[in-house]
Structures are given as structure tokens and as C-alpha cells.
Structure 1
Amino acid sequence: MSVSGKLSTLRLPPLPTLGEIIKLYNLRAEKHLSQNFLLDLRLTDKIVRKAGDLKNAYVCEVGPGPGGITRSLINADVEELLVVEKDTRFIPGLKMLNEASNGKVRIVHGDILTYRMDRAFPNHLKKKWEDDPPNIHIIGNLPFNVSTPLIIKWLENIANRDGPFTYGRTQMTLTFQKEVAERMTASTGGRQRSRLSIMCQYLCNVKNCFTIPGSAFVPKPEVDVGVVHFTPLIKPQIEQPFKLVEKVVQNIFQFRGKYCHHGVANLFPEEQRLKLTEKILMLADVDPTKRPRELTISHFRNLCNVYRQLCDEDPNLFTYNFREELRLKKLHRVTHEAS
């Protein structure tokens, strides 16, 4: 068979266009669900190419909607495509794609935030963490309202090697608001350097692949969209429990524009604050007058390691919550004034 003949066998048989499917099933992007359809198949093909060679791969697509990326994935000759879609309105169109692909599409009507990804694929695909990534990919044009909580959940899964990462270092290619994508990949000192930069980069090799203009989506969002590729690292850059790293990073970035010692201080109860803030900064070799965005991952590693030592010496430290202390003080003041 000629090369052109081979290529033609990979394409889907004639199907209604995405626009026709949207009309056929009266589909509308729901604003309250942050839905934006990507109907340009050249762009969905480009997203799929950024995931790598998907021939014979097992893929989970998150929130396929009317099925733009779904079509591009089938045309990439994947072995099996699992689609997880919460919105029932899209199921009939996805069933049509499944029939056209000779049953390659497995449709799950459910919420990706609660779906058991650790059971999604055959066990024979599992790889050791130190090996190359498994032949499994997560791909999706994520609704803006779930994208950040979802990536934080998956980062915790990476740290714990569970969920989609029970199979090994599963790769992800996902869309985010352009500003969020820039935060994830921002380097030390960069304007967009944030909590998300540290949480993503200490666990993954993160690449901002390309930007899709908002005008390519229906309806057009007020922002452009970034396509980001994640490959979990064999060895995390900070080897402490995820919740501990998250707490340290969150506290430090609470005061983005101030010196970092302000955020570090919030890790400690008032009566120990001054002494322990000085101690952790000295032992971690961190300049208290650096801004949070000026701190490297090595700085955060040192801070997390020292904080862990302090928590081991005093287990009550880890449960201390600065915001909760403020809330109780405010409640006490209001109660006192009322009496």
C-alpha cells in the first residue's frame, strides 16, 4: 500500500462537521460551566501532535465536549481512547465518533475530579517509575473553572504515585488560561512566578507548547489559551510530603510583593513566630529580604527540609493554621464587643 493509501486509512469516514453536530444536538457552551469549544481541527491536530507520537497509545481525554480533539486523537491512530465527559448533552455525538472509529472510543459519563484513573487502563501498561513514561497520555481542553484544582489534584497524585500515575510517569497535555500556563512555566524572578510555578516544577518537566488565540474558541473567551505539556520527573526536586510542600509554598506566596520572611512567619504560632522564622531562614540559608518570586526551587527545598525537621520536633507545628488563628481572633473580638 502506498504512503498516501496508508494515511487515508487512518482518517475517520465522512462524518457531520463539528458545527453540524452542535446544530444537530442543539449544543451550546454553558457559561456557568466555563465551556469553550475548539472547532478548528488544525488546532486540535496541533494539540495532539504536542503530546508526541500517539500511534497505538492509550489516551484519556478530559472533557471532550463536541469532540474536536477526540477526532484528532482517533486520526492519530491511538489504540484506545477513553473520554470522560460530565455533560450528558455531548454523549450522543461521542457515540457517533465511537461507531465511526470501529469502537476505539470508550465513553465514561462522569466527573474527572472523582473518576478512578488508577483503574482506567490495562495493568500490562504499567512501568516502573524510573523507566520511560508508559504508553498512556492524558489530554484535554479543560474548562477554566476546573483546570487549576484538577492539576493540583494530579500533582498530588504524582507525588504519591497514585491515580493516573500508578502506571508510571504518565504524560499530560492540557489547556489553561494563558496567564495560568505562564505561571506554571515561569522561571525564578519572572513576573508570573507563583505558587503554581513551584508546585508544577518541583514535580514535573513543564513546557508551554503554544498559545491559542481566544478567537479560535466558541464562544470566544476573554483570554487566550496556553497548551502545556507535563512529564513527571523521576526524582522530585523537593523530597517531602506533598501537603508539607504545598503549605510552605502557599504561605510564602501569600505576600507576593513583600519580603519572603512575612510569609515564612505565618508558618508559626505567634508566641514562637520571631524565633522560629529566624531559625528556619538561617538554617535554610535564605535571605529574608528576597521576594517570593526570587526564591529558587533549591531555596524552597531547603525551607521544606528545615520545616520538616521543626515539625518532627514539635508535631503541633504542622497542624497550625495562620488563617484559622486570625478567624478565631476575629470571632473572639466580635463576641467580646457584643457582650
Structure 2
Amino acid sequence: MLEPLRDVIARHGLDARKALGQHFLLDPGITARIAALAGDLTGRHVVEVGPGPGGLTRALLDSPAETVTAVEVDARAVAIIAELATLFPGRLHLVEADATRQDLTRLCPAPRQVVANLPYNVGTPLLVGWLRQASAWERLTLMFQMEVAERICAAPDSAQYGRLAVLAQWTCRCALVMRIPPGAFSPPPKVYSAVVSLIPHATQPDPALFRAMEQVTAAAFGQRRKMLRGSLRPIGGEALLAAAGIDGARRAETLDIAEFDLLARCHAERQGLPP
């Protein structure tokens, strides 16, 4: 029988730290639901980022996952996960590191997934990094602040639609699959959270094309109130739009994923971006 999470937290003095974006999810019913949203984990190698006291870690260990690799930067939480690892030898692996500086694909073999309640302050950069190597992942099941989750899944012509939506939906099938109220966390955040499921498409852009898409979306949404002929000017706006056959009087939020794909391909070709 595992020690109750609240007792473990008290014993280790693990108070959530705002600087680390920490909000601990302790309800075993919710963590079990999140683990289940990752699908059948039989034979899968799961990476969890920011396990904290290990609530979701426990749920993943209750699943049929082959291995769970927990990546944690907080030394206090590292001690807790190290204790848990002794109870699951060979199945739970602990990596004490900053996930933003790690290539997580090197931590476990395929088929691999990420299942994580991401620290609020690094969730978006972590996701963009994983999208760059989407072909390496079978699925990403990630919790974000509700606002970020809605931006990932936003449709064109909506207020939330922007660079993150384009990058995510260009590389993955995205769905907001669970909403979680502030009261489920300790301490409660000021906003709702949500779990997003991202399943990579079978065909993925090569690194050069991904870089082109990053440049196009950064320019297009950098000044989203401007028409495209103005916002894309730093990367050859008029010529780029002419090559893609897109009206320069439109604004970025009106373009769908296919149109951004065309812009990125034209930009990569015109710039001769190396693979």
C-alpha cells in the first residue's frame, strides 16, 4: 500500500513553488482518468515531465505501460520519485533534469508517449519542441492552462487561433479531452486547466519545412491586426503571397492549416532552407 500523497508531501516539505509553475494534482480519480486518456499503454514507454509528488506517476504505474520515465528538476520532488522508483524497480526511471534542455526521445525506446501535467511556465515551449520531432511520438497527452489548451485546438477565424494552433494542428490531430477545475489542485490555480490529446499525423514535415513554418507563423501572427502583405514583409511578403496564390489583404487568422502549409512550402523553396 502506497503512502497517501498528502503524507508524502508533508514529510518532504514539498510546497508548490510559483517560480516552477507548480500546482499538484492529488485526486487519484482524476489522475487515473488522465492516464486512461492516453489510450492502451500496453508495451508503451511513457515520459512524464514534472511529476511533482507523483500523483499522475502512480496512475501511469497502475496502467499497463512498459516503463515510465519521470523527468523532474525540483530536488525535493526528485527525492519523492526516487522513493517511488524503489518500489517499481526497472519500471519507473527517474531523470533529474530540466526538460526544456533535454531531448526526451533519447530517454526511452519507441513506441513512446508523453503524458504530463505540465508546469504552467514551460508548457508551451515544451510542446513546440515536441512538435518539431512529432514523428518520434505516438501520442502526447498534456495538461495546460485552459487558455493554452483552447489556443492549441482553436479554429481559423477565432480569437484563440494563432501560431500555436497552426503548428499543433499541422503536425497532429488535436482534441481538448478533459477540463479540470482549480479546486482539483493544491494549491488551486486561478484558472481552469484542460487536457489536450495530440496524435501525430502519419506524414511529418522535414526539419527545414518546420523551420519555414515557424518563420511564417511568427511573422504572420506577430502583428495579427495587419494584413498579410504587411505582416509578412520581413520574409518577402508580396513575392511569397504571390507564389502561394494568397490575397495579401487577408489577415493571418483567416488562413486555414492548408494555406499556411502552402506558404511554408513556398517560403522554404524561395529561401533554400537546408534540411
Partner of 2:170: 202
Q: Which has the higher contact order (CA 8 A, sep 6+)?
A: 2
The one of 131, 137, 146 aligned to 1:178? 146
SS state at 1:119 partner = helix
Residues 87-144 of structure 1: CA deviation (Å, up to 9, x unaligned):
110123223322333552111111112234333224xx4xxxxxxxx2x211111111
Check if 1:301 corresponds to 2:261: yes
Q: Whole-Å Cα distance in 2 between the matches of residues 231 and 196 of structure 1?
A: 15
Given residue 294 of structure 1, which amino acid in structure 2 is its aligned partner? Answer: T
Normalised TM-score (structure 2): 0.92
Given residue 184 of structure 1, which amino acid in structure 2 is its aligned partner? Answer: I
Are 1:183 and 1:192, in contact at CA under 8 Å, matched by a contact in 2?
Answer: yes
Q: Whole-Å Cα distance in 2 between the matches of residues 178 and 244 of structure 1?
A: 28
Are 1:202 and 1:238, in contact at CA under 8 Å, matched by a contact in 2?
Answer: no
Partner of 1:96: 83
SS state at 2:213 partner = helix
Q: Whole-Å Cα distance in 2 between the matches of residues 228 and 72 of structure 1?
A: 18
Distance 1:239 1:111, change over 3 A: closer
Displacement of 1:157: 2.2
Are 2:48 and 2:71, in contact at CA under 8 Å, matched by a contact in 1?
Answer: yes
Partner of 2:229: 261
- Map 1:91-240; keep pairs closer than 5 Å: 91-122=78-109, 125=110, 134=111, 136-158=112-134, 161=135, 165=136, 169-236=137-204
Q: Whole-Å Cα distance in 1 between the matches of residues 75 and 172 of structure 2?
A: 33
Are 2:132 and 2:207, in contact at CA under 8 Å, matched by a contact in 1?
Answer: no
Displacement of 1:224: 1.2
SS state at 2:155 partner = coil
Are 2:158 and 2:253, in contact at CA under 8 Å, matched by a contact in 1?
Answer: yes
Q: Whole-Å Cα distance in 2 between the matches of residues 92 and 305 of structure 1?
A: 47
Displacement of 1:64: 0.5
Given residue 281 of structure 1, which amino acid in structure 2 is its aligned partner? Answer: L
Residues 192-227 of structure 1: CA deviation (Å, up to 9, x unaligned):
100001111111111111111122111111111111
Are 1:240 and 1:304, in contact at CA under 8 Å, matched by a contact in 2?
Answer: no
| Structure 2: stretches of 5+ with no match in the other structure | none
Distance 1:299 1:240, change over 3 A: farther
Given residue 245 of structure 2, which amino acid in structure 1 is its aligned partner? Answer: D
Q: Whole-Å Cα distance in 2 between the matches of residues 255 and 116 of structure 1?
A: 32
Pairs aligned (count): 274
Are 2:209 and 2:268, in contact at CA under 8 Å, matched by a contact in 1?
Answer: no
Are 2:12 and 2:76, in contact at CA under 8 Å, matched by a contact in 1?
Answer: yes
Residues 248-301 of structure 1: CA deviation (Å, up to 9, x unaligned):
111000122232222111224xxxxxxxx3332233121222221110112112
Are 1:38 and 1:217, in contact at CA under 8 Å, matched by a contact in 2?
Answer: yes
Displacement of 1:53: 1.0
The one of 234, 252, 269 aligned to 1:292? 252
Distance 1:100 1:310, change over 3 A: closer
Distance 1:99 1:238, change over 3 A: closer
Q: Give RMSD over aligned pairs.
A: 2.1
| Structure 1: stretches of 5+ with no match in the other structure | 1-13, 126-133, 269-276, 319-339
Partner of 1:81: 68
Distance 1:193 1:116, change over 3 A: closer
Displacement of 1:185: 0.8
Displacement of 1:69: 0.2
Identity among equivalent positions (%) equals 34
Partner of 1:48: 35
Q: Whole-Å Cα distance in 1 between the matches of residues 163 and 117 of structure 2?
A: 22
Q: Whole-Å Cα distance in 2 between the matches of residues 73 and 40 of structure 1?
A: 14
